[in-house]
């Protein structure tokens, strides 16, 4: 049997900071009047070592009757708002300007097997203020899955370098699964994705998380935006982009490194971080409860424009 070569560590050359203007608009139309609405928005980009929010605004129509913001346990900014009068539509529009620099190199992880990473996290759950050990636990959307563990073990075999193993898992998900919008929903399980071999970025991030966590390796769900290029010769159009999801995995001494199984690459300056958590449920951009309304139609428009 030919030995499969180890994936090569991607280079991270220093480049000037990239700046983006982002618009994310969600619009609801209701068949009947909504008497009251309580909503939670996670639409505030994070300030990070490599990312700076230069400007930000959240525009809500109709005007809200209540609004306040607070950080959650992951450090994301949650904006709570409510409308206490009848309305037939709701529009939530986030506009921001963000500057993104190169992320730190991942070369410091060489020499650590994935088992050493697992054992170090188990031995000391206090080494990371973001709670790395917490990101090993199953959740409602990501319960323990023997099938996800079996899939991950094909690529993180005993004694394999942590970085090479995580990269191999990322490469495998990209190769084995078809990107197919509409094939899944928010409630689609990892086992269902493994069975049908198709999904979207949320599904592929969930699968990678389930596989890593099943082996005791901390990993978190990251939501945000990815700059995409229009087809050759075509102009960049407003509103045709989408929010994106990828994975951050943790190793002591290195910290969090970000992997995108949908696009088979590590996160770079094209990735704008919005929020992170244990799974999609912790970072949903907008969710809430309404009284009345009947059937509803939702439209989401996202634009990511380099400045």
18-100+286-306 and 107-282, same CATH topology: no
Q: Output the pLDDT for position 12.
A: 47
Identify whether the C-beta of residue 252 lies closer than 8 Å to the C-beta of residue 117. Answer: yes
Q: What is the pTM of this model?
A: 0.90
Query: For the residues 226-247, what does the mean pLDDT come to?
Result: 77
Q: Output the pLDDT for position 5.
A: 44
Higher pLDDT: 155 or 106? It is 155
Q: Which of the four CATH numbers 1.10.10.10, 2.30.42.10, 3.10.560.10, 2.60.40.2250 does domain 18-100+286-306 have?
A: 2.60.40.2250
Q: Which of the four CATH numbers 3.30.460.80, 3.30.70.120, 3.40.50.2000, 3.10.620.30 does domain 107-282 have?
A: 3.10.620.30
DSSP string for residues in 253-303: TTEEEEEETTTTEE--TTEEEEEEESSGGGT-SEEEEEEE--SEEEEEEEE
Query: For the residues 71-80, what does the mean pLDDT come to?
Result: 96
Per residue in 20-29, pLDDT (tens digit) is: 999 999 999 9
Can you give the residue ranges of every domain in the chain?
A: 18-100+286-306, 107-282
Report the C-alpha gap between 111 and 161 in whole angstroms: 7
Report the C-alpha gap between 121 and 287 in whole angstroms: 33
Confidence of residue 127 (pLDDT cuts 50, 70, 90): low
What's the mean pLDDT when you consider all of the chain?
90
Identify whether the C-beta of residue 81 lies closer than 8 Å to the C-beta of residue 66. Answer: yes
Per residue in 255-293, pLDDT (tens digit) is: 899 999 999 999 999 999 999 999 999 999 999 999 998
Query: For the residues 117-146, what does the mean pLDDT come to?
Result: 83
Tokens of 73: 């346990």
Please report, for residues 41, 50, 133, 209, 233, the alpha-carbon distance to residue 71 in angstroms, rounded to integers and kept in the order given. Answer: 12, 20, 20, 24, 43
């Amino acid at each position: 049997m030919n030995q499969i070569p180890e994936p090569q560590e991607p280079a991270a050359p220093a480049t000037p900071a990239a700046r983006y203007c982002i618009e994310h608009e969600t619009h609801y139309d209701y068949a009947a009047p909504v008497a009251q609405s309580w909503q939670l928005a996670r639409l505030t980009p994070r300030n990070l070592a490599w990312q700076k929010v230069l400007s930000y605004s959240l525009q809500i129509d109709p005007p809200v009757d209540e609004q306040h913001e607070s950080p959650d346990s992951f450090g994301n900014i949650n904006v709570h708002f409510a409308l206490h009068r009848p309305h037939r539509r709701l529009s939530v529009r986030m506009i921001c300007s963000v500057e993104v620099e190169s992320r730190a190199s991942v070369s410091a992880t060489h020499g650590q097997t994935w088992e050493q990473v697992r054992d170090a996290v188990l031995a000391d759950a206090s080494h990371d203020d973001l709670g790395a050990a917490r990101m090993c636990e199953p959740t409602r959307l990501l319960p323990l899955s023997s099938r996800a563990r079996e899939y991950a073990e094909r690529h993180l075999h005993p004694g394999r370098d942590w970085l090479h193993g995580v990269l191999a898992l990322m490469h495998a998900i990209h190769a084995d699964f078809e990107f197919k919008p509409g094939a899944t929903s928010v409630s689609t399980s990892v086992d269902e994705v493994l069975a049908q071999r198709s999904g979207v970025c949320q599904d592929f991030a969930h699968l990678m998380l389930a596989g890593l966590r099943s082996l005791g390796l901390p990993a978190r769900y990251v939501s945000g935006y990815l700059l995409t290029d229009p087809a050759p010769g075509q102009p960049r159009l407003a509103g045709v982009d989408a929010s994106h999801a990828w994975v951050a995995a943790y190793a002591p001494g290195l910290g969090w490194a970000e992997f995108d199984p949908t696009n088979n690459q590590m996160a770079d300056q094209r990735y704008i971080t919005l929020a992170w958590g244990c799974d999609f449920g912790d970072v949903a951009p907008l969710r809430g409860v309404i009284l009345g309304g009947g059937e509803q139609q939702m439209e989401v428009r996202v634009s990511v424009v380099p400045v």
